[in-house]
Chains A and B, each alone.
Chain A
Amino acid sequence: AQTVTQSQPEMSVQEAETVTLSCTYDTSESNYYLFWYKQPPSRQMILVIRQEAYKQQNATENRFSVNFQKAAKSFSLKISDSQLGDTAMYFCAFGNNAGNMLTFGGGTRLMVKP
């Protein structure tokens, strides 16, 4: 069974600054997917970014990028130029080789301060 660990229950960042959220996982599989989801107060789960384990290049989506270290089983999310709308819970998730049977971490609550 896979496990996903987010060691930072809460974080805060000043608007326009950069913040990095940590995630580690444990698996014996060689092919898998990793995701970051955002859950704002509206409760909706929004996909932020997705990484295929077989790709060495780190995924990037606008202000969001990841640092994927496969050997270390680490998958951190960097948010650049933080905006007030980035305030939310962020969940790291592991998907098996089919991609979307997800195991979620416990979440990190991010507060962006003006």
Chain B
Amino acid sequence: DAGVIQSPRHEVTEMGQEVTLRCKPISGHNSLFWYRQTMMRGLELLIYFNNNVPIDDSGMPEDRFSAKMPNASFSTLKIQPSEPRDSAVYFCASSPGLESPLHFGNGTRLTVT
């Protein structure tokens, strides 16, 4: 089991550019979560999917953020346009069901200059 795989591990981009973060959940896991970690706000849930369907996106900070899960093995988090305040570590996590513990990926450190 390779675990939850996120790419890229690091991303540096300029303000105004589009950024796409990618996540491959553990095979067989049908719940997927995107979290953001910053020094100021800690770990925040952005959005979660169950069986590829977005269930709760109330944590998405604004319309510049969007997330998709086109199939059970892939999800993206897109920021367009990016701003310096989006700099953070973005984690993807998956679980086999809503009552099972989360398995986190290694995160993507995003720096927007």
Contact = CB atoms under 8 A, between A and B. Distances in A.
Given A44-B105, A47-B101, A99-B101, 4 more contacts: A35-B101, A45-B102, A99-B99, A101-B56
Contacts of B100: 99-100
Chain A at the B interface: SS class:
loop
User: Interface of chain B, helix or strand or loop or mixed?
Assistant: strand
A46 B31 CA distance: 18
Contacts of A43: 89, 106-107, 109
A7 B16 CA distance: 38
A90 interface: no
Interface of A: 35, 37, 42-47, 50, 91, 98-107
Interface size class of B (residues with CB under 8 A): 20 to 34
Contacts of A44: 104-107
A102 B89 CA distance: 17
